[in-house]
Amino acid sequence: MLKDKVAVVTGSTSGIGLALAKTYAEQGCHVVINGLGDAADIEEERASIENAFGVKALYSPADMSKGDEIAGMIALAEKEFGSVDILVNNAGIQFVSPVEEFPIDKWNQILAINLSAAFHAIRAAVPGMKARKWGRIINTASAHALVASPFKSAYVSAKHGVAGLTKTVALETAPHGITVNAICPGYVWTPLVEKQIPDTIAARGLTREQVIKDVLLSAQPTKEFVTVEEIAALALYLSGDMAKSITGAIISIDGGWTAA
Ligand code: NAD
């Protein structure tokens, strides 16, 4: 179904994005991976995707805080592969701090990477999708696109913004065979979550176990982390033709968190 389509997944050197890139490759998509990390590790991952799935995989080092580099990534994908059919805006960072102490540079960086990057990539990819009358845009938002948690002012603001961007672009592109949706995971066990544990310990004066049980999973009624495989399966469904009527949706995959 998705064989020979081209999928660009931002922030795919780790966590959810890496699982998404591999899932698209498994379906026969050529993929553009992107993100930070050790050059040798990234090359190993890129080559292993090509070898395991018999598709082409390209690495773009575009910095998701820089609009011109993001546009360059989309242009590179179109030049090398001929199209961008599926765009997953997934790169994201977190920073935890009381609002009055929130570092201004961190605020700007989170808004740039978690929100503006999606705008820049969508802006660059939509013309080609419109011309081909087919496209799938999936934004990795968060339960924090729907509800807040203390000490995450920038992240929650950016993710709420992603929900607004998703709905707006869905309306604009609906007549052109393009769908735009946001996936809103609850807590998924990835490096992003692991990295915020020390800051949460400091901000709230708790132990590591208390942070996991009483802060992270306290909001998640299932009391289980969401898996990257579950998110990849949802993205795959949204990318298929049976999901062509799903657009502008803000879809929770959060173990019941936002039902409360
Ligand atoms: P992660 O830290 O494992 O991966 C983040 C990816 O973004 C990495 O590949 C990293 O290199 C990339 N990245 C960061 N800054 C970048 C930059 N300036 N330029 C290019 N790439 C950059 O985190 P994850 O948990 O897999 O998060 C992926 C997405 O899922 C994020 O948008 C995050 O907000 C969202 N999310 C995660 C969870 C969770 O519990 N893990 C929950 C809800 C939403």
User: What Rg do the C-alpha atoms of the chain give, in angstroms?
Assistant: 18
pTM: 0.96
Ligand 1 center to 73 CA (angstroms): 18
Ligand 1 center to 252 CA (angstroms): 17
**H/E stretch holding 88:** strand 86-89
3-state SS of 159-214?
HHHHHHHHHHHHHHHHHHCEEEEEEEECCECCHHHHHHHHHHHHHHCCCHHHHHHH
pLDDT tens per residue across span 5-52:
999 999 999 999 999 999 999 999 999 999 999 999 999 999 999 999
Domain range summary for the chain, segments of one domain joined by +: 6-188+226-252
Report the residue among 8, 10, 13, 16 best suited for mutation to probe ligand 1: largest number of ligand atoms under 8 A from its CB.
16
Instruction: Extract the tokens encoding 101.
Output: 């102490």
**H/E stretch holding 49:** helix 39-53
pLDDT tens per residue across span 165-216:
999 999 999 999 999 999 999 999 988 788 889 988 999 999 999 998 888 8
pLDDT tens per residue across span 89-122:
999 999 999 999 999 999 999 999 999 999 999 9
Atom 34 (ligand 1) nearest CA: 92
Pick the CATH number of 6-188+226-252 from 3.30.360.10, 3.40.1520.20, 3.40.50.880, 3.40.50.720: 3.40.50.720
The number of the ligand 1 atom at minimal distance from the alpha carbon of 159 is: 34
Residue 52 CB neighbour total at 10 angstroms:
12
Ligand 1 center to 49 CA (angstroms): 19
